[in-house]
Structure 1
């Protein structure tokens, strides 16, 4: 446990610098960022203030902290990066300031791991520099995308090109005018008897003829501009064969490599949001009185504060364990822990944020304290990157396998040791 809790000196330095930057630059500008995003004439234009903050962060060396490759990012392990993701996640705007925001982080990781040199030159370099943004097109409106083998958008080889036809929705980042490239998952080999070899991932420039933004999808009424989640149609979209990532039929392999670290990032950011909601709850309850005493002294609220503290710390420890296992025995050996944190963290945060809303009374359901927006964004994570039900089924299968094949658990324990 000591190994899990102990930050490396390098990560501890990043943590101190990151906390200072958040205090000096991010928190004081949150209200202005939200106001501009809501009121500017074109809601999908980049925010000038955000670009100023990003320039400051990069100048201070707080940039691409998520990448374990020291030549491209901070060179930190999953375990060392986890507390940094939590700090950034305390603010909706935090991750983008440091170029550590989804879906760009996952897309950059895909290009680092699986991209060709030409793909890296054309798309990875400007993403690393923060000059462009990207989208991830996986979910489809006509199928239950919780089973990714259902994904049906057609990718057909035609001469030197692939031709794409179909629709996607909840394409993260599609609204942003800086979004120049999509990573799209679709079917290249629908008749392959191995259903996990039917899919491929391909790079689709947003300005390719036939790519159409049908609409932007609100989440509980929030458009999340200028980022957004789009419903897109693809009509005879033609891209060169060299845009396929890793090769035909490798889509599931890439997805697993992408989603493992991404789930760690999501969970730590979620824990940061829950931690801040608890802070807001405590300050509000301490500042208000009812029935002759402070609301914080009411037993029901003392219990909720305690339960929040316990739940946040439990989620954090489980997430750190998953990060530690990913670093030491690999993503495959850590698949149960990764699935567990994906269930635990959003459910925990939804509960804590809901209590914080209740603690604020009428102020909790308007946007004065940012709690409705926090709840809306965190609630989506019980669906995004795989719904709770899929992860629970996966956890149960791994658990049952221990008793059906004892050698599996013995091997897993030996790997962990």
Structure 2
């Protein structure tokens, strides 16, 4: 009998141990920061991105669920912390829910370079057309941090077809930052314009940063010798040059008013900054908001819509929003401004003297109509609408009322307790 009880006890202990193991939370998965810039696609409402563990998937096939993660993307910039097991991605346009375009190419994610010593595998760089580069040779004894300046000179973006391409940041290539070979020779060929002035039509001695002032696609190759017979290049880059100046427009989401006093916004009005379509992808949008007559502060990066209450809660007066966009080519538009009259003050509620324990409220506000909602606890017991308000008007409050909410035309609210 004791043996049976002992065995039953062991059995229940085993069950409890199993339950405890199952109930324990799995350790959090290691992640790394990812930033991917997409070219704008005017025909797409949003995008779908698929993160992949490997590149063993073709354009038309579907990835296996355990090795892929799909997400909806509504902006041209993707910023997130991604599990380290995902090393590739592919993209497709979405015209509406469940209606997608074809998948683009599988692209390797450029992982951040922490330091030269930790950089054992260089990230993908501008295409080399199968020619050998310094990264194909055996690594030197001392760590080489060539990937860092290369990422500063060329920006990687994903084009409309889901393929990765490279854009020159600025209008020149400082080749001496990309190779320590001296003397250094270079050759430039424009792939989109046969007679472009940037074409060198042979090798030239590198003496200063090479200028690219005309938009187009270029191929630039570095050599250690001026001898055409020495055909092995040091580096070869294929990249795009954009000279377009970006432009941004501002959009206000209701509530707002167009009145004699000008354009008036309330505390709950949201402000969106949107770049106009441009061949070059957007790098960042910056803004600053300040009261008229005051000094403008530092530029801030625009991430999401801006609510007026975030900078002018319970305030009234004229404000200026200044904004600008910089694209991946390093071109920045001249700052634009929009003037707006802010009225983020809620209606003024005043208790009036009354007899027999009756409660009366008077209202003062400039933005009619006004809605008055009276609650008893969480239950709405009265919902009143006032198109206009006379000097001798008042609101009679029921005895059971515990809270009154007054909302004006601009969405500004005042909560009045019992």
TM range (shorter): under 0.3
Going by fraction, where is helix more abundant, 1 or 2? 1
Which structure carries more relative contact order (alpha carbon 8 Å, separation 6+)? 1
Going by fraction, where is strand more abundant, 1 or 2? 2
Largest Rg, 1 or 2: 2
